[in-house]
A and B are shown apart, each in its own frame.
Chain A
């Protein structure tokens, strides 16, 4: 079973707008990673944030992590049609099982022109 829930399940915005996705998880983590998946294809790694970090940026992406609330958010600024995809958060727990990623349910993002 999946550990995390993502919110919203689906999001539709216009090009140029910002998109925010939230992820909640249940147990303590080593790190949290965000992935993008286009239409049933492989997962593309977007960004990793360690449990002792609170915020991280990569290009148009901004990730925050609140370990006290067991939640994370992914912000995509100035969205483009090419950002249309499903977005998943994934957590690695204790160092011994850090490679055992537990995925959230995903957010389907639709960016229209």
Chain B
């Protein structure tokens, strides 16, 4: 079974631009979560989508948004980029049952650099 894939793997943008990242979950998984990893703040939860609906949300500004398609693929968008948005963005997929055994499997990440 193929793992979680993320595209692109690397991205360089300038301040003020916007960016869209893509995530394809493991086949059969209905939940996709996004995380931001920075040296200063570590790994932080952005949001989770399940069956095309946002089910959980972290403490990030509205510039960060996402969506999920009917095939469970998800996109994350960041508008008006700031230098502090430079990070590794990780996507995770799971069955989404919220059971105590529901495991999240992560993709390789997208490294975003904002200049």
Contacts and interface: CB of A to CB of B under 8 A. Distances in A.
Counting chain B residues whose Cβ lies within 8 A of the other chain, the interface size class is 20 to 34
11 contacts: A31-B101, A35-B106, A40-B88, A45-B104, A48-B101, A88-B43, A97-B56, A99-B55, A100-B56, A101-B92, A103-B35
B111 interface: yes
B42 A103 contact: yes
B107 interface: yes
Contact of A42 (B94, B100, B102, B106): B106
A14 B38 CA distance: 29
Most B CB atoms within 10 A — which of A33, A42, A88, A102? A42
A42 to B, nearest CB: 4
Given A48-B101, A92-B100, A103-B44, 19 more contacts: A31-B100, A31-B101, A33-B103, A40-B88, A40-B111, A41-B109, A42-B90, A42-B107, A45-B104, A90-B43, A92-B102, A96-B98, A99-B50, A99-B94, A99-B98, A100-B33, A100-B58, A101-B35, A102-B45
Interface in A49-97: 50-52, 88, 90, 92, 95-97
Contacts, number: 78
Interface of A: 1-2, 30-31, 33, 35, 40-45, 48, 50-52, 88, 90, 92, 95-103, 105-106
B87 to A, nearest CB: 11
Interface in B24-72: 31, 33, 35, 41-45, 48, 50, 55-56, 58
A52 B48 CA distance: 25
A36 to B, nearest CB: 10
A45 B60 CA distance: 25
A43 B45 CA distance: 14
